[in-house]
Amino acid sequence: MTKAFDCVNHDILLEKLYIYGVRGIPYNWLKSYLSNRTQQVEVDNALSSSAKLRFGVPQGSILGPLLFLIYINDIDKFIDPKSTILYADDTSLTLSNKNINNLEVSCYEQLNTCVEYFDKLNLKTSLLKSNYVHFKLDNRVAYLNERSPLIMIDEHVLDEVPCVKFLGIHIDKDLSWNTQIENVCAKIASGIFLLRNLAEYCTTCILKTAYYGLIHPHINYGITLWGDCSEQRFMRIFILQKKAIRIVAKAKFREHCRDIFKRLHILTLPCMYIFETITFCLAKCNLETGANIHNHDTRYANQFRNNFHRLRAYDQLPFQAGVKLYNQLPENVKCETNFNCFKRTLKLYLINQSFYSVGEFMYGT
C-alpha cells in the first residue's frame, strides 16, 4: 500500500472502534485524539494556511500502528485468513494449487478482492511495489520446465521475483536460504571489521558488548527458519562467528575456539539454533507426548511426538525440528517446569557443551 497511514479515514475508523466495543470515555478520548488536527507547509520561510485533516493516523506514536491494524482488522471477512499475512501496512497472500491454471484464477480472485477492500477504505494499492514468488520444492524436470503463473491485478501483470525480503528475512523460491546467508555473512563481515579496529583500544569485556551489538543480532534473527539450511552454508556463518570470537578474546588466528566460547559464556552458532528452536517450539506450538495419546508403557511415552510427513522441507520446520532437539536433551534439563528456569538451564547446558554442529548434539558426532 502507498501512504497507508496517511489515508486512514477517521469516520470509518471511529465506526469500527465503536463496533469492536470501544464506547463511552475511551471512544470520546480517541475521537478527540483524531479530530481537529491541522497541517501546514513551510517553504523558504513562507508558511501556508492551515488545513484540517480528515485522514491519517499520527505516526511516530504507539497508537498509530494499533489504530491502523484495527482499521483493516476485518479483512478476513473478504479473504481467507489462512492465506493472509498482515504486518502493519504490508499485506502478503500465500496461495497454492497443484494446477497452474487454477492457481492463476485463485490469485486473480483473491488479489482483486483485496484491492477492492482497500479501495473501500481509501487505501491505495502500490502496483509497482507488488510482486510474487513462485515457490517450487519439486526438482523433477517436468516441474522445473513448467511455466510460471501469470499473476494480475486488474490489467496489471505482477513481476515475478526469485527472492523476497519479508520482515527482514530473505526468502528465495527454492527455500535454499542462499540470499539470507549471503546477507547475514555480509553484515557479520562488517561487524568483524569494526571489532578488529576496536580491539586495539578496548578490553575483552567491551569487545564482548560490541559483539552482542554488532554481530549477535544478525546471526540470531530468524535462525529458527534458516538455521536448518545446508551444512556448507551454515558453516560459512559459523566460521565468521569464530573469527569474531577470536578478536573478542584477543586470541591467535588459528587458536581453537571451543574453550573461548565457554570462557566468554557465548553460544556457538549450532547452540544458538538449538536454543532458539527448542524455546520457540515450547512457547508457540501445541505439543503432545505419547502418554497423551495412549496408555501403553512404551519407551518413548514421555517424549514429544512429531507429525507424520513425507517431505524433507516439512522436516525442517521449527516445530518439527524443535521436537527432535528437545527429546535429545538430558533429563536434568527437561525436568524444569518453569519456562524461564528451563531457558536458563538450557542455555547453561549449551554453553558448557559448546557444540560445533547439530549432529554433535543429536548423535555425539
Q: What is the pLDDT of residue 240?
A: 97
Q: What is the pLDDT of residue 268?
A: 97
List pLDDT tens digits, range 245-255: 999 999 998 89
Reduced to 3 states (helix: H, G, I; strand: E, B; else coil), residue 217 is: helix
List pLDDT tens digits, range 93-148: 999 888 889 999 999 999 999 989 998 998 888 888 889 999 877 665 445 567 78
Per-residue pLDDT, averaged over 86-91, amounts to 81
As a whole number of angstroms, the distance between CA 224 and CA 287 comes to: 17
Q: What is the pLDDT of residue 141?
A: 46
* 8-state DSSP, 268: -
**E-state strands within 100-241:** 131-132, 152-153, 156-157, 159-160, 163-166, 169-172
Q: Which residues contact 44 (CB under 8 A, 6 or more apart)?
A: none
Q: Which residue has the cell 556457538?
A: 268
Strand duo 159-160 + 131-132: pairing: parallel
Range of weakest confidence among 85-94, 211-220, 264-273 = 85-94
Q: Is the pLDDT of residue 314 over 80?
A: no
Contact 260, 246 (CB under 8 A): yes
List pLDDT tens digits, range 91-102: 889 998 888 899
Question: 352-357 long-range contacts, Cβ below 8 Å, gap at least 24?
Answer: 352/262, 353/271, 354/258, 354/261, 354/262, 354/268, 354/271, 355/268, 355/270, 355/271, 355/274, 356/238, 356/258, 356/268, 356/270, 357/231, 357/270
